[in-house]
Structure 1
């Protein structure tokens, strides 16, 4: 490989790693599964502060604006039910979906890790999911 070809290849790899999170697909799926499970454990335990810590910043902001109060208080008023075990995860670059027994979560990857951007989501035929909790 020539020096120029090596430089181009390295540049492309660095760009892909920067955009795609540079972990194997399996590692990213595991990270998404862990974040979804953490969110569900907190929901089951009604640990709303822990749930807020796993939510994306825009989702926290939307909850707080809608409830005119802190995130934990807003979540306690949502009466969101636990979705159960994670059955499947789909990862598309920095976006992901975690399908649970009775819920679907959507996540995005931030510098601090995967965060839940939408929860309490139900599929609708030929339309986008309808989510009870989502960012603006």
Structure 2
């Protein structure tokens, strides 16, 4: 009598457990949407420090370096020059593992998942035909 073959079944269960530990796709979409909503609320309210806290570390660093000022001042300047403005309601949310793209009425934001939650990696993004998005705020 042959021993039962559990190897493939165990492998499938391990993958399912790993995926479920990261949250289901609808849960991740909800998390991303909530983060973008908080970002948009802070943008409308002119809360520069909240906006900076929502940025991914590399994005914040790039913003500060390119503006040669602290994040709060650089964000304030981007808002004042209309490079970044509140963009309206969420239209679509696409989540690919630890990366997400959120299309709003007037902007597209990109996010990445970090141990502390979802962070904005690029904002003020506009699609360009046959080329990558052009973003006002982005990481290096």
Q: Would you call these one fold, judging by a TM-score over 0.5?
A: yes
Q: Summarize deviations over 1:87-135 as a string: whole Å, max 9, x none.
A: 2111111111111110000011111111100000001111111000000
TM-score, length basis structure 2: 0.86
Instruction: Out of 43-52 and 79-88, give the one that drifted further.
Output: 79-88
Total equivalences in the alignment: 133
Match for residue 129 of structure 1 among 119, 129, 133:
133
Please give the alpha-carbon distance, in whole angstroms, between the structure 1 residues aligned to 2:90 and 2:98. Answer: 19
Match for residue 106 of structure 2 among 85, 102, 105:
102
TM-score, length basis structure 1: 0.88
DSSP-derived class of the 1:120 partner: strand
Partner of residue 124, structure 2: 120
When residues 21 and 76 of structure 1 are mapped into structure 2, their CA distance, relative to the original with a 3 A threshold, is farther
Partner of residue 35, structure 2: 35
Q: Which structure 1 segments of 5+ residues have no match?
A: none
Shift of 1:3: 5.5
Shift of 1:13: 3.4
Work out which of the two has the higher radius of gyration on C-alpha atoms and give 1 or 2. Answer: 2
Please give the alpha-carbon distance, in whole angstroms, between the structure 2 residues aligned to 1:12 and 1:24. Answer: 13
Please give the alpha-carbon distance, in whole angstroms, between the structure 2 residues aligned to 1:75 and 1:97. Answer: 21
DSSP-derived class of the 2:23 partner: coil
Shift of 1:8: 2.9
Shift of 1:27: 0.6
Please give the alpha-carbon distance, in whole angstroms, between the structure 2 residues aligned to 1:24 and 1:8. Answer: 19
DSSP-derived class of the 1:106 partner: strand
Q: Which structure 2 segments of 5+ residues have no match?
A: none
Task: Let me know the Cα RMSD of the aligned residues.
Answer: 1.9
Moved over 2 A (4+): 1-14
DSSP-derived class of the 1:30 partner: helix
Partner of residue 78, structure 1: 78
